[in-house]
Amino acid sequence: MTVAKTPHDPGDGPGTGGPSGPLDGVRVLELAGIGPGPFAAMLLGDLGADVVRVDRPGGIPVAPDPRYDVTNRNKRSVVLDLKTPDGVERVLALAGRADILIEGYRPGVAERLGVGPAECHARNPRLVYGRMTGWGQDGPLADRAGHDIAYLAPTGVLGMIGEAGRPPAVPANLLGDFAGGSLYLVTGVLAALHHARATGTGQVVDAAVVDGAAHLSALIHGMLAAGQWQDRRGGNLLDGGCPYYGVHTCADGGHIAVGALEPKFYAEFLDLLGLPEFRDAHVDLARWPALREAVAARFLTRTRDEWTAVFEGSDACVAPVLSLREAPGHPHLAARSTFVEHSGIVQPAPAPRFSATPTAVRTGPAAAGSGAAEVARDWDLPDLLDPPDARTAPADRTAPADPTAPDDRISGATAADHPAPQRKADQ
């Protein structure tokens, strides 16, 4: 495989004037968390929204290294302490200027902190209040901690993935956190924003990983009802049960992905692989075991890159399985600038693409508090730069003064095991 160079994307960082995207002018307030919430806010920022992230003093202990946390690109940051009345008041002031708010606390935590939907809508009735959790805002497990793999498990989705006779495969946190969580949150808040602009009325968007992940399996449930899907792993057309739809090992330990479903693609696949005798086995399930063995044996005769060359330019629906470091160098991805380098980090470019309002990586990961002055100016909130109010002295707090003290103000995809701090007014 020929390796191409990853393009550099200068975006439109400070002092430049690059593309801003279709959400230019939309203001998003993100209450810092981890997992699907930050990714959703990044996606809105990639699309051109002005995203202001409210970081907490001391940061989030389990978060990625902030210097390399790409989910904080295309954002600005202010640091506010939600354990203090002054910090709460400043967040409410920001909510009063925002179009969308995103939070990922456990149900009830935002309310106890004083920044729940009622308080925010009192300041801004048009606000779209996006809530990102694993279990959702109600139900028997709503208050329970979890990570995305636990949210996938009861939906049936995790049980679909992997080989027959082996435990389900772990799909990183892409399927739960980001597909079932972030993408549904973004869809929800943008739909609600459309409604708010038409009616003047905001609303709460309850995005739960369990709901989104279950929704992703809609087609499979239809096939299951029709008798076209077996409720087990590795026994179906699209889960590796089919010998011409799956991943095969090559002579060098590399892998090739095959998806030759349609008859004409299947025929071309067999011809290039050198197995024309199996042409009539396309829908003959009795011959699939023999076909599987023959296909596996053939792929073991050459390296991944040698097979890539064999299938290059064909419609056999075959592609090499690349690593994360290899992917940016794939000729097609490089030609489309699917990956770019910005702030010294090779990363996926914004997606999708727009003909009239192109997007870009405008800025790198936002350092905590680095955007306070700009936000105070652009959102017309000069009080944001004032020193913290004296009323926030530790003696006035119910929560511990220690900024590392545990609380529940963490992403719905990875909730802490401690009750949320309560302010005196909430007790």
- Do 216 and 160 touch, CB atoms closer than 8 A? no
* Cβ atoms within 10 Å of 28's Cβ, excluding its own: 24
CA dist., res. 32 & res. 26, Å (int): 19
* Active-site residue, 50 included: no
Annotated active-site residue in 121, 147, 195, 215: 147
Burial class of residue 127, CB neighbours in 10 A (0-12, 13-18, 19+): buried
Q: 3-class DSSP state for residue 200?
A: coil
Phi, psi (rounded to 5 degrees) for 5:
-85, 140
Q: Verify whether residue 147 is a known catalytic residue.
A: yes
Catalytic residue (one of 9, 86, 148, 177) = 177
E runs forming strands in 32-175: 50-55, 75-79, 100-103, 128-133
How far is residue 399's CA from residue 228's CA, in Å, rounded to a whole number?
Answer: 55
Three-class SS of residue 187? helix
Helical (H) or strand (E) element with 44: helix 36-46
By annotation, the residues acting in catalysis are 147, 177
